[in-house]
Chains A and B, each alone.
Chain A
Amino acid sequence: MNLVQEILAHYNHWITIFLMVAGLYVVVARGNMVKKLVGLSIFQTSVYLLYLSPGKILGGTPPIIGEGYSGYANPLPHVLILTAIVVGVATLSLGLALVVRINEAYGTIEEDEIFETEEQFQPGEDE
């Protein structure tokens, strides 16, 4: 019984950590640029979860003040994450733009092939 309660109390943290680690793994292990960006955004959303889940109070309501309610969720992480999401999509699109330009320059979005092309053209040192 105690063990079950312990697991339930920390389940959200563990899922957060799992998502974070999965994102990290995708970023490090996969050579494809688009896949890397997806992994990066998974990493990012896990951080959103990390911020938001301690702010929740069981039996509480969203932080919109109204009569007859008490026990609001903490508004501060909401604000931080709200801006982080929009900034996240802006930076994601910047990364995607870089991927498109890399694809135009190298004809591929795989890391290994880009390195090969780099080595072939090493003396020329252009692009």
Chain B
Amino acid sequence: MRLDVIIRVSIKVLLPFILMFGLYVQFHGDYGPGGGFQAGVVAAATVILYAIIFGLAPTKRIIPPLMVEIMIPLGVLIFAGVGVVGLLVGESYLNYSVLAHDQIHGQEWGIFLVEAGVFVTVAGTMVAIFYAFTGRGRS
């Protein structure tokens, strides 16, 4: 662990930017390339990179496995819940136009919330899978 000081320092510099890029991809997905799937994977890649460089135990202190496992169903619930809101107002399922005062804003809110749900599920699943594979010792 002494020899990889360059890797550790450079990763420490890079990680915030990677996470920032993930969030940019998430919130800018309406206008440029990107969206929940990509952002979720990039965010998960940040965690995975941190775990590769600094070890699994410190990573699990920052992102506990329980939180990751809660994130997996939470995203699906957000997604499905957005649909149910449309149902409650009297429109069809997953019709976002009712979420705000007019159609354009409603669609924008709907897409935002749905992408957030996708982000949470994808990031949670990827990190959970990574934890599951690496947490298991060689048999």
Alpha-carbon separation in the docked complex, A83 to B37 (Å): 8
- CB-based nearest B residue for A90: B125
At the interface with chain A, which of B4-12, B49-57, B97-105, B128-136? B128-136
Q: Is the Cβ of B133 less than 8 Å from the Cβ of A100?
A: yes
Q: Which of B114-135 contact A (CB under 8 A)?
A: 122, 125-126, 129, 132-133
Q: Is the Cβ of B37 less than 8 Å from the Cβ of A64?
A: no
A-B contact pairs, 24 of them (CB 8 A): A62-B33, A64-B31, A64-B32, A64-B33, A82-B35, A82-B37, A83-B37, A85-B37, A86-B37, A86-B41, A86-B122, A89-B126, A90-B125, A90-B129, A93-B129, A93-B133, A96-B133, A97-B129, A97-B132, A97-B133, A100-B133, A100-B136, A103-B139, A104-B139
Chain B's interface: helix, strand, loop or mixed, by majority?
Answer: helix
Top 10 nearest A-B pairs by Cβ distance? A93-B129, A104-B139, A86-B37, A82-B37, A86-B122, A90-B125, A64-B32, A100-B136, A83-B37, A62-B33
Digitize B13-50: 1 where CB-to-A-CB distance is under 8 Å, 0 elsewhere. 00000000000000000011101010001000000000
B interface bracket (residues with beta carbon within 8 Å of A)? 10 to 19
- CB-based nearest B residue for A83: B37
Q: Which of A96-123 contact B (CB under 8 A)?
A: 96-97, 100, 103-104
Enumerate chain B residues within 8 angstroms of A103, measured Cβ to Cβ: 139
- CB-based nearest A residue for B122: A86
Q: Which of A70-96 contact B (CB under 8 A)?
A: 82-83, 85-86, 89-90, 93, 96
Alpha-carbon separation in the docked complex, A33 to B122 (Å): 26
CB distance from A127 to the nearest CB of B (A): 14
CB distance from B61 to the nearest CB of A (A): 24
- CB-based nearest A residue for B128: A93
Known: A93-B133, A96-B133, A100-B136. 20 other contacts (CB 8 A): A62-B33, A64-B31, A64-B32, A64-B33, A82-B35, A82-B37, A85-B37, A86-B37, A86-B41, A86-B122, A89-B126, A90-B125, A90-B129, A93-B129, A97-B129, A97-B132, A97-B133, A100-B133, A103-B139, A104-B139
- CB-based nearest A residue for B31: A64
- CB-based nearest A residue for B139: A104
- CB-based nearest B residue for A66: B31
Enumerate chain A residues within 8 angstroms of B31, measured Cβ to Cβ: 64
CB distance from B65 to the nearest CB of A (A): 16
